[in-house]
Structure 1
Amino acid sequence: MRFSVFLNARSLGPDQDRKLMKDLEAHAKLAADLDYDAIFLPDHHFNGYMPVASDSFIFAGYLAAQMPKMHFGFSVVSVPLHHPVRLAERINILDQLTDGKLLVGVGSGTTPEEMIGFAVDYKDAGRISDTNLALVEQLWAKQMEDPAVVIDNGPYKGRVLQRITPSPFTPGHARLMPVAMKEASSRRAAENGWPAFIPAFTPPTIGGTEPFTHVKKWFDIYKGFLLEAGHSEDVVKSALDWTTHTYQVVHVAESDDQAREELEVILRSYQDAIEREAEFNARAESDDANKKTDRTPNALTDDWIGTWCLYGSPETVLEHLTPYAELGIGNVLCGTTTGPLTEQRLAYGDQTLRLMAEKVMPALKAAVPA
């Protein structure tokens, strides 16, 4: 089982942005020193919502130069917010800079406020995402002598006559990672030999009191499609090695009681930030084209904690993760900096990194290829 760190911290004002970026850099370096496998970054915009995520490709490239053995991933790129040419180019550049150690999670986005900032209606996000991905595949495949690729997708226009540069490091292109919340996205990942994000809930309901049941359901669907696709053993193994289950908040302390007490401190601050962001989303939802179809539960409810959080003593966390390892989940993505990144929150995150590395990961981390 692999372990990855999700740099998903928030800023509450412009005076915090630079310190947050430097703190996340230090946190990522600590993760590399402790033998975590990958750093994942989000893709978000506005309102102090994860400042490094406004161009996480740049931040990933900056970190990759400092930690060349680390894999890098995105959880997830909001595809409707990217011109397909720029998306194809950025992925190829980062694929080259990381020597192919790149995993690009893809999704259609979550917040109307971000959509209207890029002239995309929330109701059109799914369609624009699907078309953008198809265009990106065409751009990656295009040779100099091929006919032009014509782009006409919502706010994105263009006509590409030559080819995308640089060429990718990975044959074809870097690995994409669809979110396997529908059979269609599960099948797409499987047929291409890509890993997938395996959710702990079934949309449109966000949450669920039996997260392992949902993870097993979607993992079994994805793995079934993967085995049916006729790939080589190496392709199947690589896809499963990086098939990922995500926890928005991972917090480990010396005892269960300490972990729960500290988790509630983290979640209260996180929920305050969520409510602040919701005010701006409400303005974006002022017309029917930008109405959300789902609502995120309060982070302090047992439902949200049960679905999105992993916490406790090292022994409790190991007990929790063992069934996921036995199921075949290849990578656990740990949100160790979720919420506003205060000094206390950063200390909690570093504490979690160390306790996971010292007392949880050795029991679950089998030998894996570089």
Structure 2
Amino acid sequence: MDLSVMFFGADDAGAGHTAKYAGHTAKYDDILAIARAADRLGFTAIWTPERHFQQVGQVFPNPALLSAALATATERIHLRAGSLVLPLHHPLRVAEDWAVVDNLSRGRIGVSVATGWHSTDFVLAPAAYQDRRERAFRDLALLRRLWAGEAAEFTDGTGGRVAVVSQPRPYSASLPLWTTTSGSPQTWEAAGRMRTNILGATIGQTRDELAGKIRLYRDAYAAAPEQPGAPPRGTVTLMAHTYVAGTDEAAREQAGAPLKEYLRSYVAQTAANKQAAAHEGAVASKPAAGKGARAGALSEEQLGTLTEFAFRRYLTWGSLIGSPETCRKSLADLADLGCDEVACFVDFGLGRAEVLESLRRLADLGGEDR
């Protein structure tokens, strides 16, 4: 089982420009310190997301830019986008940016492609929102060809068509690709058909549900034709909130409050996403429905009840929060499901010292299998 470190962030850097500036500066200091420690401790990769205009992930607008900094601060650990919202970007720019990081890191990169879901993110590319899924999967195939050095035709400033080759040329012959899924079985199957690796999460689904999706992915991957640079067998990477302490009680006491706050944000965001999807579908089928088609928001009481339920269930299965022995059993269970790598989500509200101590304990567990 490979162990990686995932950043996602759910913190509020404070009110006012000065406080936010100082808070964000400190956050980048934390990321650099944790990345250097993960590199020394033997973790497989560091994942950084792409987020825009929200509390969650305030300091992560560009994984390529941050990975370029991490490339010069680390020596062996892989640097991956988890995830890059491909419909927001021209595929040529993606190929160019990640080729720079690939050269700086001497081939230590990987990219997980997401379709995007939050409509506000698409102020960066408003025309790409409605067909974002189709665009992502189409451009993923194009990205593979660009990385391999193939010329591709695009429209230039005069409206003519011109063939270009992405520069600089990357260090690696092929680009390691993942597809990000929020849980849809269709996305798991699509990732298999495209022969990409897959980046999912344990949260929000049962063990049996996840086992079924992994089987679906494996079957689709095995049946799919070969793709340039794709390995014979795909990698299943699962994100899990992680905090390893001396005892279960200590882990739950220290991680409980920040994890509940994160889960509260997750529950509210998930509910809002479902409401937006329902509204979008209702408007598409009944244009006269208007704003009345949008479901009502959760009340504070409902949100609190759902958060507590999610917290209790997540401690029972899906997280790496507990003693070394508890986390060892959780890792073995995920391996039995067919998981190849756990991306350990560490920055959900804990301090730098707590995260570093947790990673040291976790590295000891990973070292037992090496």
- The gaps in structure 1 that reach 5 residues or longer are 152-156, 202-206
1:100-139 matches, within 5 Å, as 100-120=107-127, 122-137=129-144, 139=146
> Distance in 2 between the 1:39 and 1:118 partners?
27
TM-superposed CA distance for 1:193, in Å, is 4.7
Contact 1:113-1:280 within 8 A present in 2 as well: no
Q: TM-score, normalised by structure 1?
A: 0.77
Give the letter for the 1:196 counterpart: I
Check if 1:312 corresponds to 2:322: yes
Q: Tell me the residue number matched to 1:176.
A: 177
TM-superposed CA distance for 1:135, in Å, is 4.2
Identity %: 23
Q: Tell me the residue number matched to 2:351.
A: 345
Q: Tell me the residue number matched to 1:325.
A: 335
TM-superposed CA distance for 1:112, in Å, is 2.3
After superposition, what is the alpha-carbon deviation per residue over 1:270-290, rounded to whole angstroms, capped at 9, x for unaligned? 2566699899999x99x8489
From 237, 254, 264, give the equivalent of 1:262: 254
How many residues are matched? 340
Check if 1:218 corresponds to 2:217: no
Flag the 1:190–1:275 CA change in 2: closer, same or farther, 3 A. closer
Check if 1:32 corresponds to 2:29: no
Flag the 1:269–1:141 CA change in 2: closer, same or farther, 3 A. same
Give the letter for the 2:2 counterpart: R
Contact 1:47-1:277 within 8 A present in 2 as well: no
Which structure would you say has the larger Rg? 2
Is 304-313 or 18-27 further displaced after alignment?
304-313
Q: Tell me the residue number matched to 2:17.
A: none
Q: Tell me the residue number matched to 1:87.
A: 94
> Distance in 2 between the 1:160 and 1:48 partners?
41
Is 348-357 or 260-269 further displaced after alignment?
260-269
> Distance in 2 between the 1:45 and 1:167 partners?
29
Q: Tell me the residue number matched to 1:195.
A: 197
Q: Tell me the residue number matched to 1:243.
A: 236
TM-superposed CA distance for 1:357, in Å, is 1.2
> Distance in 1 between the 2:314 and 2:333 partners?
20
Flag the 1:112–1:292 CA change in 2: closer, same or farther, 3 A. farther
TM-superposed CA distance for 1:59, in Å, is 0.9
> Distance in 1 between the 2:321 and 2:176 partners?
30
Give the letter for the 1:263 counterpart: A
Give the letter for the 1:176 counterpart: L
TM-superposed CA distance for 1:89, in Å, is 1.4
1:280-295 matches, within 5 Å, as 288=280
Give the letter for the 2:341 counterpart: N
TM-superposed CA distance for 1:140, in Å, is 4.1
- The gaps in structure 2 that reach 5 residues or longer are 14-19, 285-292
> Distance in 2 between the 1:245 and 1:337 partners?
16
After superposition, what is the alpha-carbon deviation per residue over 1:183-208, rounded to whole angstroms, capped at 9, x for unaligned? 6644554456532224447xxxxx23
TM-superposed CA distance for 1:218, in Å, is 2.0
Contact 1:91-1:174 within 8 A present in 2 as well: no
Is 30-39 or 158-167 further displaced after alignment?
158-167
Give the letter for the 1:174 counterpart: L
> Distance in 1 between the 2:219 and 2:149 partners?
31
Q: TM-score, normalised by structure 2?
A: 0.77
> Distance in 2 between the 1:6 and 1:25 partners?
13
> Distance in 2 between the 1:325 and 1:65 partners?
32
Match of 1:197, SS state, is strand
After superposition, what is the alpha-carbon deviation per residue over 1:56-81, rounded to whole angstroms, capped at 9, x for unaligned? 21110111122121111121111122
Flag the 1:314–1:127 CA change in 2: closer, same or farther, 3 A. same
Check if 1:5 corresponds to 2:10: no
TM-superposed CA distance for 1:345, in Å, is 2.8
Flag the 1:356–1:143 CA change in 2: closer, same or farther, 3 A. closer
Match of 2:330, SS state, is helix
CA root-mean-square deviation: 3.9
> Distance in 2 between the 1:4 and 1:251 partners?
13
